[in-house]
A = this chain, B = another copy of it.
Amino acid sequence: MCLNIFRTFKSYFGCNITFVPKESALVGIGGCIGSVARYQINEWIPSLLGTFIVNVLGCIAIGFLMYESIYFGAFSRNSRLFLGAGLIGSFTTFSAFATQTIEAGLFYGIIFIAANILCGLMGVFIGRQIILRGRRSWNI
């Protein structure tokens, strides 16, 4: 009964908002692990470099997961929710990226933005390459 109330309800805006407790729990547990991992890396390597490393590593991981679902599809929807929306989504961050850009000033800020964007996008392609190489070596 309580679950049914939660599952789908009509909002004040007239939109159907779906809430699936199991999916949200998977995202939440993944998000918990991802945020603690990010925090620990930022404690170890503080400031701009820490956020840069976290964002690029996360982009490699999400690229791997994204192209895995295209070329293999071995992970279930729940695993992808846990890893993608939860763990990797929380591991990477845009808010620290924005505040550190402002704190860095104009010159270093522009370099920081360019480095994050370019290496982040490259990271997604590195994730794709890992998948494509695996595909070739396993002859799938």
- Contacts A40-B24, A98-B123, A99-B62; A90 near B19 (Cβ below 8 A): no
The interface residues of chain B lying within 8 Å CB-to-CB of A32 are 28-29, 31-32, 35
Interface of A is mostly: helix
Whether A59 and B95, one on each chain, are in contact in the complex, defined by CB atoms closer than 8 angstroms, is: yes
Copies in the complex: 2
Whether A36 and B43, one on each chain, are in contact in the complex, defined by CB atoms closer than 8 angstroms, is: no
Interface string of A1-30 (1 = CB under 8 A from B): 000000000000001011100011001111
Q: Which residues of A contact B (CB under 8 A)?
A: 15, 17-19, 23-24, 27-36, 38-40, 42-44, 55, 58-59, 61-63, 66, 81, 84-86, 88-99, 101-102, 113, 116-117, 120-121, 123-124
